[in-house]
Amino acid sequence: MTTRKAELAMAVFLLLASIALMFKSMQLNIGWIPGRGPGAGMWPFYLSLGMALACLATLYRWFRGTTPQARSEEPFVAPDALPVVAITAGGLFGLLVSIHIVGMYIGLAAFMVFYLRFVGRHSWLMTTMFAVGTPIFIFCLFEWALTTTLPKGLAIFEPLYYPLYDLMY
């Protein structure tokens, strides 16, 4: 996709989103409620109206070719950079999905292995160090020092942490 097309696609998408937000705000009262003041929807309604107008201005400038992006026929993401950006974003997506299943700690360890070993091509020693060290550090920081429990995934993984809780309390 060229930058020019990306500029148009983004402006159209944001315009549609703004219009949807206007309708969403209209479910609330966007006018004046006598004796009480402005309705709950007034502020978001006018904000999304402003957003829609800003998008229309961007679209107008696109047609006129005023913005540098509207004239650029360069690829939107540089082809040699696309793989690393896509793999990183995909890896993060995988991490978030895995947190729901195996929990934060195992998910993070797997993510570190994926990134260090398969993206960065570091040695297994380096990979293991970070894959084990990062979750331990985060566990100590959050569960211990901040007493914030991080997600442990499905219930079957919970018993894994019992010995650690015994150590802490």
Partner 1 sequence: MFQEILVHLGEGLLEAFQPLNLMMIFLGCFAGLFVGALPGLGSVNGVAILLPITFLVPPTSAIIFLAALYYGAMYGGAISSITLGIPGASTAVATVFDGRPMAQKGLADQALMAAAVASFIGGSVSIVLFTLFAPPLAKFALAFGPPEEFSLMILAFATFVGLGGDDIPKTIFSILIGLLLATIGLDIISGRPRLIFFDIPGFMHGINFLVLAIGIYGIGEMLWTLETTQGQVTIHSVKTSWSRFVGNLKLIKTYIGGSMLGSFLGFFVGTLPAAGATPASLMSYGLTKTFSKDPESFGKGNPAGVAAPEAANNSASTGSMLPMITLGIPGSPTTAVLLGGMIIWGLRPGPLLFSEHPDFVWGLIGSMYIANFVTLVLNLALIPLFVRVLATPFTILAPLIFALCVVGGFAPTQDMHDVWLMFIFGVFGYLLRKLDYPVAPAVLAIVLGPLAEASLRQTLISGQGSAAVFLERPIALTCFFFALMLVLYPVYQHFTRKKAKAADA
Residue 126 touches partner 1, criterion: CB under 8 A = yes
Residue 26 touches partner 1, criterion: CB under 8 A = no
Residue 120 touches partner 1, criterion: CB under 8 A = yes
Residue 162 touches partner 1, criterion: CB under 8 A = no
The answer to whether 49 touches 22, Cβ cutoff 8 Å, is yes
Measured between alpha carbons, how far is residue 41 from residues 34, 44, 47, 49, 107 in Å?
Answer: 15, 6, 10, 12, 40
According to CB under 8 A, which one of 12, 19, 44, 160 is a site residue for partner 1?
A: 44
According to CB under 8 A, which one of 16, 24, 65, 165 is a site residue for partner 1?
A: 24
The answer to whether 76 touches 6, Cβ cutoff 8 Å, is yes
3-state helix, strand, coil in the chain (%, to 5): 75, 5, 20
Helix (H, G, I), strand (E, B) or coil at 76: coil
According to CB under 8 A, which one of 134, 157, 160, 164 is a site residue for partner 1?
A: 134
Measured between alpha carbons, how far is residue 45 from residues 17, 29, 103, 135 in Å?
Answer: 13, 9, 39, 44
According to CB under 8 A, which one of 5, 12, 19, 51 is a site residue for partner 1?
A: 51
Dig out the tokens for 131 from the structure.
């894959």
According to CB under 8 A, which one of 12, 19, 54, 160 is a site residue for partner 1?
A: 54
Chain contacts with partner 1 (rule: CB under 8 A): 3, 6-7, 10, 14, 21, 24-25, 28, 32, 36-41, 43-44, 47-48, 50-51, 54-55, 57-58, 61, 67-69, 76-78, 80-81, 84-85, 88-89, 92-93, 95-96, 99-100, 104, 108, 111-112, 115-116, 119-122, 126, 130, 134, 138, 141-142, 145-146, 148-151
